[in-house]
Copies of this chain bind each other. A is one copy, B any other.
Amino acid sequence: MKNTRGFASDNNAGVHPLIMDAINKVNTGHTIGYGDDKYTGSAIKKFREIFGDEARVFFVFIGTAANVLGLTAATRSWNSVICAETSHIHEDECGAPEKYSGCKLLPLHTTDGKISVNGIHSQMYGIGFEHHSQPKIVSLTQSTELGTVYTVDEIKKIADYAHKNNMLVHMDGARIANAAVHLGLEFKEFTIDAGVDILSFGGTKNGMMYGEAVIFSQPDLAENFKYIRKQGMQLASKMRFIAAQFEAYLTNRLWYENAKHANNMAKLLAMEVEKISGVTIMQKVESNGVFARVPKEVIPELQQEYFFYIWDEETSVVRWMTSYDTTKEDIFGFTSLLRELLK
């Protein structure tokens, strides 16, 4: 039987046992649907302990929806959203942001997955000119799609610039836990405190089954979000099962333990790979992804044993993602195969 373990994506892992326990535990009796239940109330309370009393928290099914509906909440169709060309909203959502919000996306060139004030500034023209889509959101991914992590200072600079220009900051935090571990900071310190207005808070890539949270820094931004979520086809009837997952995820810093493990495994993988001649690490390994240039000819056989995705066909760069359940055996088995194939 084929080995299914690999480095394709952190969402190829299953559900963390503590989260599965929590799901099982709330499966008792009747509970009012659509989020008016005590489990959802409790999970939201936990989020507000982290993000502050002003924060408003809504659960949706997936990260794409968290991004798209979060952007929709703060825009009208004549706005534009400035983002990295590598961002999930630009590259991996099949055009959902444009279709749903009607906005234009302005992808900035990036080599490390990050964008800067300079890049954003290059799009700041035509303000007030009706022929031009009006920039309204700067969207950052934390940690980025290339495994790098914005520093607090980088985020603050961007947020300051955005706010001075009447824009808001959205953060795609599908892998926010990995960033928090890398930065050694609490979530709030590099999100709301740094100027993030709308946050997609992910859990599925770090041990949950399904469910993401859209977090607004203050109530005004969330004013109509209940309608946006429902019309956006993201209001769960049996909400308690998302709530229970987040409750467990935020209890005893499970999110931290999971992400720390994944990050460490990525570091180990990078360290081992660096010893192999012919392979080059292409990005800083700051979260749970390793991007490496690997000779084309060994890729297919390697993928056979440990599935992963090619990031860029032309340059032969591949992406390896680790997860909360990646083992040292996975790493060593993989790197020894790689070493073998490269002989």
Contact = CB atoms under 8 A, between A and B. Distances in A.
Interface of A: 4-6, 8-9, 11-15, 20, 23-24, 26-34, 61-62, 64-65, 68-69, 76-80, 90-96, 98-100, 102-105, 125, 130-134, 204-205, 209-210, 224, 226-238, 241, 307, 313, 325
A11 B29 contact: no
Contact of A27 (B20, B30, B78, B232): B20
A204 B237 contact: yes
B95 A65 contact: no
A209 B232 CA distance: 20
A237 B125 contact: no
A77 B205 CA distance: 28
Contacts of A98: 77, 98, 102-105
Given A12-B33, A231-B99, A130 B6 contact: no
Centre residue among A15, A227, A236 by max chain B CB count within 10 A: A227
Contacts of A132: 91-92, 94
A232 B33 contact: no
Contacts of A6: 30
Oligomer copy total: 4
Contact of A95 (B23, B68, B102): B102
Contacts of A307: 32
B210 A238 contact: yes
A309 B288 CA distance: 47
A11 B237 contact: yes
Nearest to A15: B27
Contact of A134 (B104, B131, B227): B227
A319 to B, nearest CB: 14
A130 B233 CA distance: 11
A104 B99 CA distance: 8
Contact of A229 (B99, B130, B232): B130
B61 A77 contact: no
Contacts of A131: 34, 91-94, 230, 235
A62 B130 contact: no
A87 B15 CA distance: 36
Contacts of A94: 78, 130-133, 227, 230-231
B9 A31 contact: no
A132 B34 CA distance: 14
A238 B226 contact: no
Contacts of A77: 95, 98-99, 231
Given A29-B14, A95-B102, A228-B78, A234 B237 contact: no
A158 to B, nearest CB: 21
A238 B20 CA distance: 14
A143 to B, nearest CB: 17
Nearest to A325: B30
A230 B64 CA distance: 9
A232 B77 CA distance: 10
A6 B29 CA distance: 10
